[in-house]
Amino acid sequence: MQKEQQKIIGLKEFRENMEAYLVQIQKGNRFLVLKRSKPIFNLVPVDDNEMDWETVADFTRIKKGGINIEDILKRL
């Protein structure tokens, strides 16, 4: 499968149409986001073969539905 060519978009365009871009990323499209004509980040689909995700903390085991982030930050 050939990788999709990266498209260039502005930050404002991305912010205003984020949901549509997320759908495109899930389909394999790639985007370079610019702010004032300078690249600030790439949007690329996650390759399941490249990344092994590991559960670091499962707060649903402590409390059904998880724990509020504000409560966690207060205790740090």
Q: Which domains does the chain have, with CATH numbers?
A: 1-46 (3.40.1620)
pTM for the model: 0.58
Any idea which residue has 């990323």 for tokens? 25
Q: What is the phi/psi pair of residue 34, to 5°? A: -110, 150
Q: Which residues of the chain have pLDDT under 70?
A: 1-4, 48-51
Q: What integer pLDDT is reported at residue 63 of this predicted model? A: 79
DSSP class of residue 50 equals T
Q: What integer pLDDT is reported at residue 1 of this predicted model? A: 46
Q: What integer pLDDT is reported at residue 20 of this predicted model? A: 96
DSSP the chain: -PPPPPEEEEHHHHHHTHHHHHHHHHTT--EEEEETTEEEEEE----TTT-----S--TTTTSTT---HHHHHHH-
Query: pLDDT of 36-49, one tens digit each?
Result: 999 999 999 887 65
